[in-house]
Amino acid sequence: GQQLNQSPQSMFIQEGEDVSMNCTSSSIFNTWLWYKQDPGEGPVLLIALYKAGELTSNGRLTAQFGITRKDSFLNISASIPSDVGIYFCAGQLPNPSGSARQLTFGSGTQLTVLP
Amino acid sequence: DGGITQSPKYLFRKEGQNVTLSCEQNLNHDAMYWYRQDPGQGLRLIYYSQIVNDFQKGDIAEGYSVSREKKESFPLTVTSAQKNPTAFYLCASSTHREVSDGYTFGSGTRLTVV
């Protein structure tokens, strides 16, 4: 199936630092989504992007839908301890033909914030 | 409040036994999904369902079975044929729209074979 290459796989940062992670694909997507998963819980939607070039913020989080429609990045500014978790990108291929199999997920970025 | 509920949160199974994981949603979503997550790994799709009484295999369906008799419910059975069932299982649901507004996930069930 389609694959999203998400990087980095893991990050260790100091509290207060900024963080950047990204996803790339060989396929064009018409929607990009970013999720956060707290330990032992299900992923929660952070940001949804629907247009190429779109830049959207949610508090300290900023995400962009790449111009080529094949990539997206997520930035977290001024990290805090509760930012710890796994961040997933997800993309929807165009013309899903009514299939419920709408989203392809990246492999996740494990973020650790050190005090 | 609408949401998606998975139960139980923790489940222990003896080798050779079947076990069923529950997933219920009151979001009026048409589509539902089951994912498996291993430690430090991403999400792998087991089964999905677009409508009642219909479901499709995902990437790792072997050793699993599902049913979709009601719109609200999508239980997953882990059978004895699944050789390595210890994992974190996530259920999700979504609307059936051309432009995705994302999935809503449950809080997961951690299955351990003892």
Q: With CB atoms and an 8 Å threshold, state whether A43 touches B105.
A: yes
Chain A within 8 Å of B94 (Cβ-Cβ)? Answer: yes
Q: Is residue B1 predicted with pLDDT exceeding 90?
A: no
Per-residue pLDDT tens listing for chain A (115 residues): 557 899 999 999 999 999 999 999 999 998 999 999 999 999 999 999 999 999 999 999 999 999 999 999 999 999 999 999 999 999 988 765 655 556 889 999 999 999 8
Which of the listed ranges A21-25, B1-5, B35-39 does the model predict with the highest average pLDDT?
A: A21-25
> What is the token pair recorded at A42?
């299900």
What DSSP string describes A58-90? ETTEEEEE-TTSSEEEEEE-S--GGG-EEEEEE
Residues 92-111 (A) with a CB less than 8 A from some CB of B:
92, 96, 98-103, 105-108, 110
pLDDT of residue A94: 77
A42/B92 CB distance under 8 A: yes
Percent share of chain B, pLDDT over 90 = 80
A27/chain B closest Cα distance in angstroms = 17
In sequence order, the 6+-apart residues with CB closer than 8 A to the CB of B69 are B52, B53
Instruction: List pLDDT tens digits, range B69-107.
Output: 999 999 999 999 898 999 999 999 998 766 677 899 999
Count of A–B CB contacts within 8 Å?
A: 71
**B96 in contact with A, Cβ within 8 Å:** yes
pLDDT value for A76 = 98
- Residue-level pLDDT at A98: 53
pLDDT at A93: 82
In this complex, do A42 and B107 lie within 8 Å of one another by their Cβ atoms? yes
